[in-house]
Amino acid sequence: DRTPGAIMAVELSSSEVEPLLAGFTNGEVQLICISSPSSVTASGDEPAILILGESLKYHNIFHRKLSVNAAHHSKHMTLMSDDLSKRTLKVAQK
């Protein structure tokens, strides 16, 4: 699966955001960080993160998709590490 990943900051507590994340399956979106009692960070598949953003916008909840090169603390990191391992092996074999 090469779905791009994304990260979003959300101005909700972990207990407030969990019901919103419950609708996502297979690690599409995960709570990755509790930044403060009223702010969390979610990570996962970019299409799912965008859907989460639309839901938050509808409910007038502050959120921001972060500008990052990887969806840290998600399944996307495993995909990156697998790719990096393959590239490193190729270099080591030369």
Condensed to tens digits (0 to 9), the pLDDT of residues 10-49 reads: 999 999 999 999 988 877 899 989 999 999 999 988 999 9
Confidence of residue 51 (pLDDT cuts 50, 70, 90): very high
Q: Cα separation of 56 and 17, whole Å?
A: 10
- Across the chain, mean pLDDT equals 83
Q: Cα separation of 72 and 79, whole Å?
A: 11
Check residue 77 and give its pLDDT: 56
Check residue 37 and give its pLDDT: 96
Q: Cα separation of 1 and 7, whole Å?
A: 18
Q: Is the pLDDT of residue 52 over 60?
A: yes
Q: For 73-81, what is the mean pLDDT?
A: 59
Q: For 42-67, what is the mean pLDDT?
A: 94
**Bridge partners, 31 (sequence order):** 42
Six-digit token pair at 74?
């998600």
